[in-house]
Amino acid sequence: MATSQAQHPDDLEGAQDLQLENQLCFALYAASRAVTELYRPLLTELGVTYPQYLVLLVLWERDTRPVKDLTEALQLDYGTVSPLLKRLETHGLVTRRRASDNESRVLVSLTPAGRELRARATGIPHALRCALQRSDHGANRELIDTLQRVTAAAQAAEPLTVTDDDAS
């Protein structure tokens, strides 16, 4: 009489696809967390968090923007950006005011302190490149371009579903 043995998960077809180390999403997540953590001591010196720093980066590129522009640039929703702006305003780095031509539009501007903070932040990108041993601007640009392509592809993708055909 033949006895059946349960197959070890590693023997199953596609089992490697379900290993954590083979997940693109986890590699991106872990890299994002690790890089964000590198920023922490630098941003602590500036008195801002990483998400607040991202808001400031957008405003340092072009001051006085509608909140909608910030949400689009940061790829965040209003409910996430609004508390960031409130904290930045409390810290005296930005102001919010209603647009004179459209009361429903809120404009965000840097204060003098917010503009001055930019000078203190100029060394941050270099410090990150050094920490990641990526002082070559070309290699950095290539990595950024690759990540932007991944982001664009994910945003353009149709919602995913798993079918029986996918599992076989």
Q: What is the pLDDT along the chain (168 residues), one digit of tens a residue?
A: 444 455 555 556 677 888 999 999 999 999 999 999 999 999 999 999 999 999 999 999 999 999 999 999 999 999 999 999 999 999 999 999 998 988 889 999 999 999 999 999 999 998 998 888 876 778 888 888 999 999 999 999 999 888 755 555
Q: What is the 3-state secondary structure (H, E, C) of 46-96?
A: HCCCHHHHHHHHHHHHCCCEEHHHHHHHHCCCHHHHHHHHHHHHHCCCEEE
Domains identified in the chain and CATH numbers: 50-120 (1.10.10.10), 123-155 (no CATH)
This prediction has a pTM of: 0.82
CA 114/CA 11 separation, integer angstroms? 57
